[in-house]
Every structure is written in C-alpha cells, then in structure tokens.
Amino acid sequence: MAPTIAAFGGSPTLRAADHVRWPIIGPEERAAVTAVLDRGVLSGPFAPEVRGLEREWATYVGAKHCLATNSGTAALHVALTAAGIGPGDHVIVPALTFVATALAVLHAGAVPIFVDVEPKTLGLDPALLERAITPQTRAVMPVHLHGTPCDLDAILEIARRRNILVIEDAAQAHGATHRGKKLGTFGALGCFSVQSSKSLPAGEGGLIVTDDDELFARANRARMFGENVSLDDESGYRIERALDGNRAYDSLGIGWMYRTNELTAAIARTQLRKLDGLNAAARRNADALSQRLAKLPGVTTPQVRDGDTSCFHKYRVCFDARARGIDAPATRVRDALRAALAADGLEAVLWQTMPVPAQGLFRDRAGFGTTSFPWDRAPAVSYELAQFPETTRILDGSIVLFSHTCPIAAQPLDLAVAYADVFARVWEQLPEVLARSA
C-alpha cells in the first residue's frame, strides 16, 4: 500500500537536505576566483578571463564571434542595437517568456509585438507569426523556453521570405541543439544569460554570438560607449598595465557600458567545463520523470521534437483535471496540486503567472519619462489577452518541478524517480486534494 501523502497527514517523502542546491560552487570555481584576485585584474575589454570566455563560448556553440556582457538583458539590447532596430520598428516576441525579451525591445526604442505560443515546445507559434508581421516589423526574437528548441525551421523560413531578422533569445538554452547544431547560432545573432539560476551560472552576465563581422563590430561599439574598440588592439594589451591603454576615447555613436568583469568570466569558464555533464544529467532526470508522468491521465510532460535536444533548464508539467473527471478552475487545481506536492517535500514552483503583455508595463504603456515612447513612434498595437489563449492556458494549468535553487540538472536520479512517485500519488488522489483545499 502506498504511503499516505503528506497533505493528508503522512510524513513528507523528501527533505530539503535531499536536494542539491544551485549553483554548485566547488574547488575549481574557488581556485579560478583566487587566481583573478591574485592577478589583480578585475575588468577591461581585453582582460584575460573575459576574452577567454568569449573565445571558449564561441568555440563551444560554433560561432565566429562572441561578446560578453553584464547581463542577458544587456545582450539582447546590444543585439537589437547592432541590428539597427530603433524607434518606429516592430519586433515580434512570444507572449510566454521572461519580461527581459520584450523589455530589451523597448530599450532599443522599438515596440514589441506579442505572438502566442504553440503547445508542444511552448515556443513562438509559427502559424501566428506571419499574420503578426507589419510594414514596421524588422525582427523576430524566438525564445527557446526552458531550454527546449522552438520550431526554428518554420520561423527561419518565414523570416527569410519576409526579409526580417532573427535574433535568438537562448537565455535558458545553453548547449541545447537543433539538428545537431547549438541553439543561438541559427539567427543573425544569439543571446545567452549567465545569471546564477541559469544552466551556466556565474552571477550576472550575458553572451552574444554572431557569424556576421559587421554585426559584431556594431555590437562591440554598442557594448562599450559607442567606441570602435577593435580586437586587433588586443595585441597591445599589457596585463601589468591593465588599467591603461591607448584608446582614442572617441564615441562614434550611442553606446552603453555593458561589459562584464573578470570574476564573472572566471566562474563562467569553469562552469562551462561542466555544462555538458550537467545537461546530460538534466536529460536523464527529465526522461525518468516523463516515463512515469506521461502515463497519467490528463498530464502532459515537456515535449522535444525529433532531432532536437533540450537542456531542461526547467521541467514544466501541464495538466487537465477534466481527464480525472474534475470540473474546477485550472488555477485552483494548479495551486492545490502544488501545495500537496510541496507538503511532500517537492520543489514545485510557478515561473510566470501571467502572459508578459498582461504585465502593467504593457497594459499601461508605461514608456520613458512622461511620454508613451516608444509606442507613440509606431502604429497602435493591441495587447488584449484574448490574443494569447495558449499562453494563458499553459500558465494557469501547469507547474514547474524543481526550482532555481534546486534545478533538475543538479539532482541525483533517485530524487527524480521519487518526484515521479509522489506526483503520481498526489494526482491519483486529486479529487480529495481539491476537496481538502476548499
């Protein structure tokens, strides 16, 4: 007989101590930080850890160029700026993403146009993309949500045919692949985050990759005060005089100070050597969960298209209680299920509770200063939530197993199996779980 679930008075199956916390900081990371401190060089466009990270990440993903930034949001902003996106332009983004995707568009002075997602990969729906293109559309920013490739082939085909740029938001997709090629390398530019919760955790930081020499040069200027700092100047860099140099201090256009620092880069380089192993563990654990949960009536586990791989930055489970004969609001089912899983010691969390266009920034057109810029520079757009039924359905009827603090990639296999067992027991008793939560 299965043990009584904790929500009904049983003992919790798992404890916090059973989980591995993130990020995993070991002797390698500590040695890398110590080496930076001993060297005494903490920053600079040619600082050795930053340049090492840029070269290593470019090699890892198979790109010609890489620039490190101080955040993933900055990476997106720089990419848009390099692409020439500005006031009056439209950029298409998915309604289900983190706000940074759309916020970077506003930072560039352009207007985000939201498109609903498709249910398989939770990525931007190509069937809705073409009708969202306007005469003002300059780019589309597909997001590989939770580390799973979106429908890239269809998006790329539409973008090529309609002559719009593709900038990939791969902030959650380090090392994931489409047809054997790393994500972030299919569009004109690709952007990643190395924030502490990501699969490549280093604190706060970002990475931009591109194969285009001119886009790289523009991105490099935008990242650093608008100055034309050429990598050819690296040959004159002297580590004993790291704070000095022969820059002309000539800003050729609008730019920001978006460089990252040596400590972040040193940690990221160390974590990069562990990335493939962690991604393999994430896939192993996700497979163990899916084998069990996909058999439960009304439960849908993460889907990955044939020929693609996911790094499972997040493991989102969608459900429909009607398959259990339950007629109740999806959010009530979600919250009761989550509470019951948490009572048994599972890390069961919500990531986003509303479509991005429902957030106050977009609802109120809270632009720069006292104006409605940049919305006042382009034709009127609609953010009515009725346009995004799939995003709303997913957020109302799903939870994420594991968390930023205890992600799936860091956990032992037996813990993933225990998660599957507990979820199955709670789902089996869902009618009573709901009744007791009333």
Q: Annotated catalytic sites, by residue?
A: 198
Structure tokens at 171: 């902030």
Structure tokens at 86: 């500005």
Q: In a 10 Å sphere around its CB, with 0-12 CB exposed, 13-18 middle and 19+ buried, how is residue 139 labelled?
A: buried
Structure tokens at 423: 């979820």
Contact 412, 24 (CB under 8 A): no
Q: Phi and psi for 161 in degrees, rounded to 5?
A: -65, -35
Q: Torsion angle, CA of 247/59/69/151, rounded to 10 degrees?
A: 140
The pairs formed by 154-159 with CB atoms below 8 angstroms and a separation of 24 or more are 154/126, 154/129, 155/124, 155/126, 155/129, 156/186, 156/187, 158/126, 158/129, 158/130, 158/133
Q: Phi and psi for 3 in degrees, rounded to 5?
A: -65, 150
Say how far apart CA 196 and CA 71 lie, in whole Å. Answer: 11
307 Cβ neighbours under 8 A, 6+ residues apart: 178, 179, 180
Angle between helix axes 27-39 and 262-293 (nearest 10 degrees) is 160
Contact 156, 185 (CB under 8 A): no
Say how far apart CA 39 and CA 377 lie, in whole Å. Answer: 49
Contact 240, 49 (CB under 8 A): no
Contact 186, 159 (CB under 8 A): no
Structure tokens at 156: 């790329």
Q: How far is CA 361 from CA 220, 351, 375, 387, in A?
A: 29, 18, 12, 18
Contact 352, 96 (CB under 8 A): yes
Say how far apart CA 133 and CA 91 lie, in whole Å. Answer: 9
SS3 (DSSP) at 140: strand
